[in-house]
Amino acid sequence: MAEQFSLKLDTPAYKGTVSINTGLFINGQWLKSVEPEKLECCPDMVYTATGRIITSVEGGCSKDIDIAVDVAEKAYKTSWGLKVPGSTRGQMLLNLANLIEKNADEFAALEALNCGKPFSKAQREIAGCIEEFKYYAGWADKIHGKTIETTENKMAYTRHEPYGVVAAIIPWNVAMTMLSWKLAPALAAGNTIILKPSELTPLSALKFASLVNEAGIPPGVINIVNGTGSAVGEAMAYHPRIRKLAFTGSTLTGRKIQEASAKSNLKAITLELGGKSPNIIFDDANLEQTIKWASLGIFANMGQACCAGSRIFVQEGIYDEFIKGFAATAHHLQQNTGDPFSGKTLHGPQISSVQFDRIMGYINSGKTDGAHVLSGGERDGNEGYFIKPTIFTEVKPSMKIAQEEIFGPVGVVMKFKTEEEVIEMANNTTYGLACGIFTENVSRAIRVAHALDAGTAWINTYFTIETMVPFGGYKQSGTGREQGEYALENYTQVKAVHINIGLKL
């Protein structure tokens, strides 16, 4: 049996005990790894506001993945998949949603504790996770094929069938959001699943695992295996009996997963990868609202978001006014930086010392290359992994800070003159995840949205992701779509059935 971890919290934002099992959740049971002595162990869980260790969790290995695949296959054939009506699967997803809602504040506390995000922001993330499970609970009995007219002597129809055993690898920045984005549509479609949470932030996923049996989900349908990418993620990517894998993370790792699929069983792959998203602000934009949205676009979740609006293009007519207001929002966040559980904090720490150092490396690169630090640009305090919200101006498009994904609270602002010029600048990147356009001219807004290489275009808003609207990238930002009805396409295969009702040879 794996160990139990409990911690009593008495903070302004949350008073109560958080409790999880630190083991591997396989076949409805808490287990230790079968080969612990061979593990490249998971790192200790750290409270990023202080850098102090919270606990450690069990790390899995390739043989644990073999076991998880075995039980997932058995569950798919005997107690899930097409043997279970969609309405029944939907009810179980609804049960999960209700249980998460019942434990919502504990989930938020775990996210704040493990990820460092302000508790109030974590609460919103958990609310979105609940909505996700409820949404796909409604889809579970509505995954239909089509009847296709051919001739009077023949008919055909299609079936949308699950893959069977699928896998998911999720990142650390929005752990519960990504868990729900992967699990909810996969389960609604009738698949069984093996999930690897990030080795940095597995706590909320393990809390979720403790609700699976209570929700009535049969053993083996949901399996959660902690571990590193090299020990667990690689085993998933190469496994010959995992039929489909969904990954959210870096473009470099996405390439490796795609390669592993090609070298193993050609499993279906969906990838949601990096971004360097442009946020374009025209002269006629509502300046007050635009400044607020642009601030959210780059500083939300301490800049740790794949679709962050990190390249901010401002038309010359309002450039000076914009940067003055934008700097004020960064200063306000800095004044409200601190403990995620304070109840007033708006800006928390970065996820780890490694990420902290990486972001500071980019900031130093910007300074060296001659960009101007309008605000921030340095560590905040002496404890934990805090970085001041940072804005660079006088940035050239060729600079490293304007080309590479920083994944931190660092925005680069560039001036432009014409619509044609800014479209070319915005598309000059290997990424294509999202973009923002701020203008009161509707025709221009739609025209520019259509011209940009991005899977999501926000007009006069930013970061407003909706459960029913697809999300995914162009170019090296990934393949496939999550959210909405489109996500179900990732977890089903289309079978065409031909029936002879009168054809003669």
Residue range 51-77: average pLDDT?
95
Q: Say if CB 318 and CB 281 are below 8 A apart.
A: yes
The answer to whether residue 405 sits within a structural domain is yes
What phi-psi label fits residue 274: left (phi over 0), alpha (psi between -120 and 50 degrees) or beta?
beta
pTM score above 0.85: yes
The answer to whether residue 117 sits within a structural domain is yes
Q: Do 301 and 241 share a structural domain?
A: no
Per-position DSSP letters for 241-262, written without gaps between them: T--EEEEES-HHHHHHHHHHHH
- Residue 154: strand pairing partners: 151, 500
Cα 477 to Cα 251: distance, rounded to the nearest angstrom: 7
pLDDT of residue 42: 76
pLDDT of residue 3: 85
Q: Do 388 and 430 share a structural domain?
A: yes
% of the chain residues with pLDDT over 90? 95
The answer to whether residue 27 sits within a structural domain is no
pLDDT at 39 over 60: no
**Among 133, 27, 30, residue whose Cα is nearest residue 75:** 27
Kindly tell me the sign of the dihedral angle through the C-alpha atoms of 61, 63, 67, 72: positive
Q: Say if CB 197 and CB 205 are below 8 A apart.
A: yes
Cα 35 to Cα 42: distance, rounded to the nearest angstrom: 14
The encoded tokens of residue 1 equal: 């049996």
pLDDT of residue 40: 60
DSSP 229: I
Cα 359 to Cα 400: distance, rounded to the nearest angstrom: 12
Q: Do 88 and 224 share a structural domain?
A: yes
Q: Do 255 and 146 share a structural domain?
A: yes
Name the strand (E) or helix (H) holding 175: helix 175-188
Q: Do 227 and 339 share a structural domain?
A: no
The answer to whether residue 57 sits within a structural domain is yes
Cα 154 to Cα 247: distance, rounded to the nearest angstrom: 41
Per-position DSSP letters for 50-77, written without gaps between them: TTEEEE------HHHHHHHHHHHHHHHH
Q: Do 384 and 304 share a structural domain?
A: yes
- How buried is 449 (Cβ within 10 angstroms: 0-12 exposed, 13-18 middle, 19+ buried)? middle
Q: Do 295 and 191 share a structural domain?
A: no
Please write the tens of the pLDDT for every residue from 450-476: 999 999 999 999 999 999 999 999 999
Number of domains, the chain: 2
The answer to whether residue 111 sits within a structural domain is yes
**Among 233, 210, 191, 199, residue whose Cα is nearest residue 28:** 210
pLDDT of residue 45: 84
Q: Say if CB 21 and CB 58 are below 8 A apart.
A: no
**What's the CATH code of the domain at 309?**
3.40.309.10
pLDDT at 43 over 90: no
Which residues are catalytically annotated? 272
The answer to whether residue 335 sits within a structural domain is yes
The answer to whether residue 252 sits within a structural domain is yes
Backbone φ and ψ of 37, nearest 5°? -70, -20
pLDDT of residue 227: 94
Residue 325's pLDDT band (boundaries 50, 70, 90)?
A: very high
**Among 243, 200, 206, residue whose Cα is nearest residue 492:** 243
Q: Say if CB 371 and CB 406 are below 8 A apart.
A: no
Cα 30 to Cα 37: distance, rounded to the nearest angstrom: 18
pLDDT of residue 87: 97
Range of the domain at 91: 44-273+481-493
Amino acid identity of residue 223, one-letter, is N
Residue 113's pLDDT band (boundaries 50, 70, 90)?
A: very high
pLDDT at 44 over 90: no
% of the chain residues with pLDDT over 70? 99
224 Cβ contact list (under 8 Å, min separation 6):
24, 25, 194, 195, 196, 197, 205, 206, 208, 209
Cα 185 to Cα 483: distance, rounded to the nearest angstrom: 8
Q: Do 227 and 368 share a structural domain?
A: no
pLDDT of residue 1: 56
pLDDT at 41 over 80: no
The answer to whether residue 29 sits within a structural domain is no
pLDDT at 2 over 80: no
**Beta-carbon neighbour count of residue 86 at 10 Å?**
18
Q: Do 313 and 188 share a structural domain?
A: no
pLDDT at 302 over 90: yes
Residue range 319-339: average pLDDT?
97
pLDDT at 165 over 90: yes
pLDDT at 446 over 60: yes
Q: Do 153 and 241 share a structural domain?
A: yes
Q: Do 141 and 256 share a structural domain?
A: yes
**What's the CATH code of the domain at 261?**
3.40.605.10
Three-state secondary structure readout of 330-379: HHHHHHCECCCCCCCCCECCCCCHHHHHHHHHHHHHHHHCCCEEEECCCE
Residue 428's pLDDT band (boundaries 50, 70, 90)?
A: very high
**Among 80, 74, 65, 76, residue whose Cα is nearest residue 31:** 65
Q: Do 379 and 325 share a structural domain?
A: yes
pLDDT of residue 377: 97
